[in-house]
Copies of this chain bind each other. A is one copy, B any other.
Amino acid sequence: MLRLTLDMDDVLANTHKKLVNIILNDFDSLLTEEQLHSKALKELLHPKQLKRLNKIIDSPGFFADIEVMDGAKETVYRLSHFYEVFIATACMEFPTSFKDKFDWLHRHFSFIPWTNIVFCGYKSIIHSDYLIDDHVRNLMAFKGEGILFSAPHNLQNRAFKRVANWEEISELFLPVA
């Protein structure tokens, strides 16, 4: 069975959407929702705003209520019948998030056993046939075949095969029903 490893933030979980909502509601910013979805937040926000946002991300509970990405649950469930599915999230930068992330995965993807969950720093450590991730740096470090999941911060990249959503992952990895 081939192994397929999935990133969590902005692949399984709509983390960017939660950040955009926080900026729109709580930050004194003139950026529109459309602009906030057009490129990396680190290119759009002031350093002070980024620092404030990082503090929010590193608060207990931030990861607890993030929305599941459209179609992710159903597609991952089907994928788990054809692949050995692992979930790998680079969360060592935010140690406060460990428990929230683990609980979130258990709540929304309970069919993925705890044996197949990985919290890491660099994804070069991941031994897998495929990795679906929104960060080019993770795919660059990865030794298998990397698939880029479209996100505002990676729209310019042309180096990796790209998927725009879970429907496209389904088309790429699942047999025609």
Report the count of interface residues on A (CB-CB < 8 A). 27
Can you tell how many copies of this chain the complex includes? 2
CB distance A114 to B99 under 8 Å? Answer: no
Measured between alpha carbons, how far is A119 from B115 in the docked complex, in Å?
Answer: 10
Residue A56 is within 8 A (CB to CB) of chain B in the complex: no
The interface residues of chain A, by DSSP majority, are classed as: mixed
Q: Which of A105-158 contact B (CB under 8 A)?
A: 113-122, 124-128, 143
Instruction: Select one of B5, B88, B98, B125 contacting A88, CB under 8 A.
Output: B125
User: Which residue of the partner chain B has the closest CB to A144?
Assistant: B127
| CB-defined contacts of A43 to chain B, threshold 8 Å | none
Contact of A95 among B88, B102, B120 (CB under 8 A): B102
Please, which residues of chain B bring their CB within 8 A of the CB of A95?
98-99, 102-103, 114
A63 adjacent to chain B (CB < 8 Å): no
